[in-house]
Amino acid sequence: MGAEPRSDLSTGLKPWHAIVSEALKRNEVRLVTYVPDRVLTPLIDSVHKDDFFTAFASTREEEALGIVTGAWMGGMRGAVLMQTSGFATLPNALASLAVPYQIPLLMFVSERGTLGEFNLGQALVCRTMRPVLDALGIENHTITRLDELDFIVDRSIKQAVATQAPCALILSPLLTGGKKFAH
Amino acid sequence: MDIASSAAHHANLKVTNRFELSQRLVALLTQGEAVIGGIGNTNFDLWAAGRRPENFYMLGSMGLACPIALGVALAQPKRRVIACEGDGSLLMQLGSLTTVATLAPKNLTIIVMDNGCYQITGAQKTTTAFSADIVGIALGAGIKEARWAADEAMFESLVRRALLEDGPQLIAARIDDKPAVATTERDPSLIRDRFMRGIGVKA
């Protein structure tokens, strides 16, 4: 089973995936391509169900980055959804395409390999993500709270477009509920 | 053509030249077609064949010419979009052929210049120098309109066809191991800006 989205009944906030897809819509981000992640499944499902979005799977994260780059240059905004291990395949394409060509590439990364996961490989890969982003000077935020989510996503999209720069939004298990484990 | 006959056909193809084919391609582009030139010799010869504002030149990100072209094709369905790629680059991102086949944009054509080697790094052989057949791979990925150009004249007629008929299409040509005749100006933000203006995204 997929992770249940955390929502805050006391404040009446929507689930995290609804907040993200609404922020994408509000900012005219129509193309959403992804390499799947169990935690991202409710977001992937919601963009597939909504005709506003052109949503499809790519075979690699690099490919997804290339597609979003082409779409941006052609006048269509796009985002890539991935998990941490997928992000680790991207440094070359970020350094030779998205950053130097000034592409407002939006990356949503489901943070795996932390806060109680069991796979050592994922845990090690997770530790490479922020140093890579910092080395390339890519704006990045780790989102842990539902009440900050819309503000961060909305503002980050606007800044990426205005400054013509990629941006990574790391979705913490504190926000998404993370991976659910079998007992 | 099926996969087996494509492979058999491969040995009988004329060995053409990248710059020659690039010039013939550019001469056929009269409707503002967008062209994405893959890393290295492929975009160098495209650059040398004529500085169209609708051309985009990659300076790294090996393998991403087809994905970039797919993105442009999705964003601008009324414009014809061409990815120009080498065999070594395409081999690095073969999965993208399956994405192209699945989304099936009618306005997208992939041109593969196949010299069977990584010319720019010392002409080490690629796997297409052995048993791998680019057209067979494309057919297997689900791109039904995939053909070898047997010579320069057939290359031109396949390009004409690709510009008129629904795609996605793939045209592959065997080329010699000559280096490109020039090198592209290496200014990424200028290349990107020119391209966006060339295809009407920026005024």
Please tell me the predicted confidence (pLDDT) of residue A11: 62
Q: Which amino acid is at A136?
A: L
Classify residue A136 by its DSSP letter: T
Which residue among B56, B96, B201 sits closest to A63, beta carbon to beta carbon?
B96
Within 8 A by CB and 6+ apart from B195, the residues are A73, B34, B53, B54, B55, B56
In 3-state terms, what secondary structure has residue A162?
Answer: helix
Residues of B in contact with A57 (CB under 8 A): 99
With 60 as the cut, is the pLDDT of residue B100 above it? yes
Q: How far apart are CA A37 and CA B117, in angstroms?
A: 36
> What mean pLDDT is reported for chain B?
95
Supply the DSSP string of A123-154, one letter for each residue.
HHHHHHHHHHHHHTT-EEEEE--HHHHHHHHH
- CATH no. of B3-198: 3.40.50.970
**In terms of pTM, does the model score above 0.90?**
yes
Residue of B nearest to A75 (CA): B201
Domain boundaries, chain B: 3-198
CB contact under 8 A, A73 and B201: yes
Give the span between the Cα atoms of A146 and A109, in whole angstroms: 16
Q: Is B56 helix (H, G, I), strand (E, B) or coil?
A: strand
Q: Is A54 on the interface with B (CB under 8 A)?
A: yes
Contact criterion met (CB < 8 Å) for A97 and B60: yes
Position B81 pLDDT exceeds 60: yes
> Could you say which architecture CATH assigns to the domain A20-81+90-117+125-176?
3-Layer(aba) Sandwich (3.40)
In the predicted model, is pLDDT for residue B12 greater than 90? no
Complex ipTM: 0.96
In this predicted structure, the answer to whether residue A10 has a pLDDT above a threshold of 70 is no
Q: Which two tokens stand for residue B192?
A: 């990107």
Of B193, B198, B155, the residue nearest B32 (C-alpha)? B198
